[in-house]
Amino acid sequence: MEKKPTPFDAVIKQLNIVAEKLKLDPSMVEKLKSPRRVIIVSVPIRMDDGRIKVFTGYRVQHDMTRGPYKGGIRYHPSVDLDEMKALATWMSWKAAVVDIPYGGAKGGIACNPKEMSRGELERLTRRYTAMLLDEIGPYKDVPAPDVYTNAQTMAWIMDTYSEFKGYLVPEVVTGKPIEVGGSEGRHEATGRGVAICAREGAKHLGVNMKGLGVVVQGFGKVGKAAAKLLHQMGCKIIAVSDSKGGIYDPDGLDLATVLEHKEKTGQLRGLEGAKEITNEELLELECDILIPAALENQITEANASRIRARMIVEGANGPSTPGAREILTKRGVFIVPDILANAGGVTVSYFEWIQNLHREHWTEEEVNRRLEEKMVKAFRDVLETSKKYGVDMATAAYVLGVKRIVDASEKLGLFP
């Protein structure tokens, strides 16, 4: 049986393409392929029924050439070392693309949070934090929420870390509740960045946003925020999906009704007047803008030829394989890649970190204004890189991110 490509295989393939474009020294490529530190911990906790259960936790710290490690923590059954290495590497490139002073990291615990109580999740989070105490910190590694973690998870991490230090350290994590140092605008930041990139992509293609048909795979925090903002910009949301399946209406879904139904039932299916479709069918719908905002490897060589979107704006990390992007680009599909499109979250995380370090609190208008500036500049920087090297936007984003890391690395040199 043929081995299925892993997320880290995709990273290596992307890096090799970039290395060829930038004519990088092979030794530099080897350095970029290798995470600086890999941490694997066994996390024992007492379950509600009194049993002791041991979970496996990870933290991969890829690169700190441009600043402290930065990256989310996810709770998901599929979490493994290969996935963490890929996501940490993408985070390094992403922070460089939007030009914020961070390196990349990623963490996670292999678990099913949907089957765990709030108490079990709190004990899991606090134990995991205690086991990583010497590896994280405001100037070393600053975690954030990711898949199936949230502001409450970050509050538990912050409190655990602060208890060990003996004083409050809000800047140890970002994505916290407002009440304990979180930033205004953080909840919608990633989705807002996706919407801004979709708007800038439409401008580049010379298309008016009004009436454009949008399909969103993954109607979670990112997908919801992007859908709402694009709807406000005049787009028509024709299909959305969650892990259980999707709904479709070519005339446009009533977003308020969809949100209310999802809140009441916990799923999208069953909404009166909307056709039920699978996630696979949703990806292949004819539309103007497709936003894959679920998990990795949703668009592959196997289904790329059936994708009928004019533009893809990647809300998730690694939703398209390199081979799929190649097929789509040859067909004229304009792709705004993940490390640009979903960088709104890490950008506002950076704003939160700055606010915490200075013990300030900015208004939502201020945060959104700064985010707009950062995302628009990053989009234009990637577009210029695309023109300079004669490559698609995805390759251009990787070229830009890697080049900024390489330039900084060369200035620092190698110790000793």
Question: In this structure, are residues 178 and 343 in contact, taking their beta carbons and an 8 Å threshold?
Answer: no
d(CA 275, CA 258): 13
- Dihedral sign for Cα atoms in the order 12, 400, 393, 289: positive
* Residue with tokens 């999707």, as numbered in its chain: 246
Q: How far is CA 138 from CA 92, 154, 165, 344, 350, in A?
A: 17, 14, 12, 20, 11
Q: Which two tokens stand for residue 172?
A: 């140890």
- 155 touches 177 (CB < 8 A): yes
Name the catalytic one among 21, 85, 94, 106: 106
- Which residues make Cβ contacts (< 8 Å) with residue 263, sequence separation at least 6? none
Active site residue 244: no
Q: Give yes or no for a cis peptide into 7 (omega within 30° of 0).
A: no
Reading phi first (left if > 0) and then psi (alpha if -120 to 50, else beta), residue 184 is in: beta
DSSP classification of residue 137: B
Alpha carbon of 93 to those of 9, 97, 149, 260, 397: distances in Å? Answer: 16, 6, 23, 37, 8
SS in 3 state form for 334-351? Answer: EEECHHHHCCHHHHHHHH
For 348, the token pair is: 């506002």
**DSSP states along 301-320:** TTTGGG-EEEEEE--SSS-B
For the chain, the first-to-last Cα distance in angstroms comes to 45
The DSSP letter of residue 65 is: S
H/E element holding 15?
A: helix 7-22
Q: For 188, what's the count of Cα atoms within 13 Å in the CB-facing half-sphere?
A: 18
Structure tokens at 143: 């975690």
Q: Tell whether the torsion through CA atoms of 15, 17, 18 and 19 is positive or negative.
A: positive
Q: Which residues are catalytic?
A: 106
